[in-house]
Structure 1
């Protein structure tokens, strides 16, 4: 007798988006595809982390703008904690800076919500194969806009310290996140204040927001 053909395991998906109606639409779209199964859905980064930990999906479809922990800043931790789950970002944000930060964090797919019906399934299948997928229009923008250097003459490390400061991290937390001492964080902060001629935290936070160091939406 001929050997039985093995049915491939379905691509298992967790969806995280804070709008229930969007989640239902995404679930309907993905569940209608052969070989794809949505195993859980949630509305925050914490939900995404909990469901990925519990279900071990192949792909996490993640909105960039949800309440609670900022998605962009959570991406590196999600990739480190769940290396076997690939991430596809779904967002309204078509600014190259957001895509560049997401992709540099290890995200494999970046899909705009306006094109989700046409692109999300392809992005999920590509991510499950370990391949990248980028919205073509956004890809053209990225190619036309090479990444700028940090604003205000800051070094890359100073810009990262300022970004974390603007997100509300303490000096101790910044040191732990960047694997540097608190004294080194304080030195970076002093250099930032000198270069920008800014002396208080609110002014530093405003500078970070005004210069795109902190995402303000998706």
Structure 2
């Protein structure tokens, strides 16, 4: 029995080595490989039997979200468990929307990681508490006139000087979707342009 076949994807060699060492001693888990980016992960899965991909998100070249989305099309039977440092809306929501089965943080305990791999293998969600909270918040109906979590993200990025193209790339959505979010922000804030939206966002305390 080879157990659950796991591929580790992370651009830091020390992290890959540490995770391999941690999982190597678990009886029902076998680390079949480790790679440094999304493109290498896709190639490895295409050439080897993999059950669970332990995926970082922010990597040079093809990042985790793009890799998750492509894996869903090319290898739908392979489950992805995100393991990253980041739990912001702009990281969590795109990863889950792309098809990640679970989402854990790198400060998780070894026991939590092992159980997360097992859960992902069976198609069950394994979520860090902060991630679960963000997902719950994202599906709750905002108060009338209040900005949704995604609209807040767009406004925050615009306030930082991002263009529509920059926002689309950061949130892994189309520029048309960004424009739609902006129009809703303008309507809810009662403004007509980006500068006024940023000013009103600061006035209302939406932007720090």
TM-score range, shorter chain: 0.5 to 0.7
* Residue correspondence of structure 1 range 88-127 to structure 2 within 5 A: 88-127=81-120
Query: Relative to structure 1, is the Cα distance of residues 100 and 76 closer, same or farther in structure 2, using a 3 angstrom cutoff?
Result: same
Superposed displacement of residue 74, structure 1: 3.1
Matched, 1:18 2:11: yes
* Residue correspondence of structure 1 range 1-218 to structure 2 within 5 A: 8-144=1-137, 146=139, 148=148, 150-151=150-151, 166-167=168-169, 188=176, 195=183, 197=193
Unaligned runs of 5+ in 1: 1-7, 155-161, 169-176, 179-184, 199-206, 208-218
TM-score by length of 1: 0.65
Unaligned runs of 5+ in 2: 141-147, 155-163, 187-192, 199-208
C-alpha contact (below 8 Å) 2:37/2:63 kept by paired residues: no
Superposed displacement of residue 80, structure 1: 1.1
Counterpart residue number, 2:201: none
Cα separation, 2, equivalents of 1:116 and 1:90: 12
Cα separation, 2, equivalents of 1:36 and 1:150: 37
Counterpart residue number, 1:214: none
TM-score by length of 2: 0.68
| Aligned-residue CA RMSD (Å) | 3.4
Cα separation, 2, equivalents of 1:112 and 1:16: 14
C-alpha contact (below 8 Å) 1:12/1:59 kept by paired residues: yes
